[in-house]
Structure 1
Amino acid sequence: MSQPSTKSTKRLLPTTTQDLDRPRKQRKNVTTPQQPSSTFTLLPTQTILSTLPSDTILLHSTNCFGEWGAGIALAIAHLLPAANAIYTTHCDSFRADPRSWPEREKLVGTCLLIPPLDADTKRNGGKEVWVACLFTSYGYGRATERKAGKDGKAVILRQTRGALGDLRGQLEGMREKDGKGGEDAKNEGVLSGDEVEMSDARAGAKKQGRQLDIYSPQFNSGSFGVKWEETEILVKEVFAGWDGKWFILSPPK
């Protein structure tokens, strides 16, 4: 059985334009819990995936093995196949070779924020939807020779806190107007085609100082088996004082 590699591999898709400037430990951990702010609430909505508005973030929790194979993750893969491909490539970039497992410590507790991609935007009538992938469990389901099983509840919650903190840092970075844009990166010749498209989208959001609304299911409560109320507490703590809107999609019937 292939085991997780300790060999460092080059990450193909940076999770944020600030990645190279911010230490990983600082991005992953939120060490001082804050009291939930009265200005930040989670709002219920009857919106479903197919009716998401443009200029929004679709957030969900995921594993580190590059597979959206069940539940809402599978629905997102059908809705946004280009984003699904980016997510899979991101996970695979942490494998020392195709048969090895992704490097756990470099993925768990982080967030991959995927901007709208042209193929998905055209597929969905011009709607631009971002995808926030919270790596809250290393594996999924039961362990097999090719993958790890889902983590225990306490571990998932700890990694959820880190991933939420990483996401908030990226969103705050997008609102800064002095960041390095996609055009500079292209001129330096350091980005591939997909990376250029992602970098351009992030740079555009930065220049506009955009505040994007977040839509999410009651993440972690499905195949990861964590009660939504426990994850909800973490969201309110990590996003205390956040002046954006966060909508909770109705659970499937």
Structure 2
Amino acid sequence: MARKFAIRVLLILTLYFPMQLSAQQQSQERKIVRVLTFNILHGATTKGDFNLDVLSDVINKANPDFVALQEVDFKTKRARNLDLTTELAQRTGMTSYYARAMDYDGGAYGEGVLSKRPILAARNVALPHQPNSEPRAAAEITVVITSGDTIRFIGTHLDHLKDSKDRMMQVEEINKKLVDIPYPAILVGDLNDIPESKPITILESKWGAAYKDTKLEYTFPSDAPRAKIDYVMYTPKNRWKVLEAETICDEIASDHCAYLVVLELVQ
């Protein structure tokens, strides 16, 4: 009697657990990443004080795998001589990379990137600008996500002037230098222009845009959003699927809403 019961249990275990393992493997094999873009107003808040904990709280609650930060100071006087990218990396438990766009206020001003995954390679891609305009940059990192796939994550901040001449040059440079590279890529940041503008249309000739698969989320200003100028894009267009998107509008942390998008890398 006991022997028959043991055999029956063994058969059940043999049949059941492979199915469970297969389901678990399928879940792990989904290549899902959470990406966040956040213009951090050089560490200041909209109240005029300086509070990195408010910024890190927004990031930690969003639980992203990758973050692109814009308006990031590196050891400037106004940022209390702090390296803001490293400070936020410590507060969020992530690794970081900083791309200087220009010297400023005793330090530098540029782009920051945070990653839950080890950074295998990184580069600072200088973007073109007119002689009297602010320099801009794109911060690119290469990482291996949990599925074992290698991807590139790029954060940038395009020119803010009403005249779009600099933005036009910058998007052309992004399409020239950051698209035709072997690994799939995600491009995020404050692009300082609205959907259907010429610069955004140029980018969308090469990159998919998350808002087209979800809904148009206004990202600026954070206290009453009425314009979309912060984006998540991806290439190749057929390799990424948009699963979710939302804005996180903390009107104290920054004058921009953070923009969170969940993407899946597909075959």
Give the TM-score normalised by structure 2: 0.31
TM-score between the two structures when normalised by the length of structure 1: 0.32
More helix by share: 1
Flag the structure with higher strand content: 2
